[in-house]
Amino acid sequence: MITCLRCGIDHEHPAIQRPRPHAADADMNIVDARAGKVRAVPRRSKVAIIGAGRTRNQAPWEDPAWEIWGINEIAQKRADRWFELHPLSVQTDAEMDWLRDCPKPVYLIDTPPPEIPMGVRFPLEKVIGLGLDFFACTFAYQIALAVLEGFETIGLYGVDLPWGTPRERLYESASVHAWVGFALGCGRRVIVPADGALLQHPPLGRIHPRPRRYGFDYHEEKDAVAAQVSDFFDLYKRGAFGAVGGDGPDPARIN
């Protein structure tokens, strides 16, 4: 276990693996690295944003109609674009090696240095220009970019932030939900797994896949929220928030 320079939490990051070619990969062209312009040939109208949670297994990996976007250096079946939105100064040697060898466009917050040939500067000014400046995690930036680029369908797989670390539950989840609402308001279709944590109140996932509605499901909603709050503080006191990508609430804690 090491203290992550990115989030300040003691945990092991998933193993770093070099991306491998896949039959469903898009042909990605960097049009302007400094301006953050990337083009897929042929253009695709659907994008799947992949996190580390268990619902990532439901992503449309084999469907060539979808672009797939990866995060950090987390290994996955395929990706057409990668996002490493942490300063290069906090990357480990292994992570820098991965960035240098990455064969697909990889978005950076820094101006891409020559040693990262597929580096692309993330177009922060343009996504802020959409009208919402609420970014607490990479997923929020990805949703914003998907809206900016005109994707019609946005899928979120493994983005189960309400089951994650305190930061993910308290801050990152709110940012992602805000951008999901923004995307819906722009007429985009947003897909999340039915047994995941996003767009669920409370985030019970596979235990109770139907949301509990405040007021209309008064007792069930009240008890479920109370159990989730209690579970959160119990886990926090035990220091059990080190793992990345939670599996959801304990069925024994939920009525």
Quick one: pLDDT at residue 8? Answer: 41
In angstroms, rounded to a whole number, what is the distance separating the alpha carbons of residues 108 and 110? 5
- pLDDT category at 9 given cuts 50, 70, 90 is very low
Contact status, residue 108 vs residue 147, Cβ threshold 8 Å: no
Give the global pTM. 0.86
Is 205 domain-assigned? no
Q: How many domains does the chain have?
A: 1
Residue 251 within a domain = no
Question: Could you tell me if residue 231 is inside a domain?
Answer: no
Q: Note the pLDDT tens digit of each residue in 78-112.
A: 999 999 999 999 999 999 999 999 999 999 998 99
Q: Match 């991965």 to its residue by tokens.
A: 98
Please state, in angstroms and rounded to a whole number, the distance separating the CA atoms of residues 31 and 168: 33
Point out the least confidently predicted range of 162-171, 173-182, 226-235.
226-235
Residue 241 has what pLDDT? 58
| Mean of pLDDT over the chain | 86
User: How much is the pLDDT for 52?
Assistant: 93
Residue closest to 180 by CA, chosen among 162, 164, 163:
162
Specify whether the CB–CB gap between 79 and 167 falls below 8 A. Answer: no
Asked whether residue 97 is assigned to any structural domain, the reply reads: yes
pLDDT score recorded for residue 249:
54
Structural domain containing residue 79: 18-194
Confidence of residue 246 (pLDDT cuts 50, 70, 90): low
- Residue 166: inside a domain, yes or no? yes
| 9 lies in some domain | no
* Number of other residues whose CB lies within 10 A of the CB of residue 51: 30
pLDDT of 17 reads: 61
156: confidence class by pLDDT, cuts 50, 70, 90: very high
Residue 135 pLDDT exceeds 90 = yes
pLDDT in tens, 183-194: 999 999 999 998
Residue bearing tokens 């970014």: 135
C-alpha 246/C-alpha 218 separation (Å) is: 27
Which residue stretches of the chain are H helix?
A: 93-101, 124-128, 138-148, 166-167, 173-185, 218-237
Q: Which of the residue ranges 8-12, 109-113, 246-250 would you say has the lowest mean pLDDT?
A: 8-12
Q: Is 225 among the domain residues?
A: no
Question: What integer is the mean pLDDT of 162-181?
Answer: 93
Residue 211 resides in a domain: no
pLDDT, tens digit (0-9, with 9 covering 90-100), for 11-60: 344 445 666 778 788 899 999 999 999 999 989 999 999 999 989 999 99
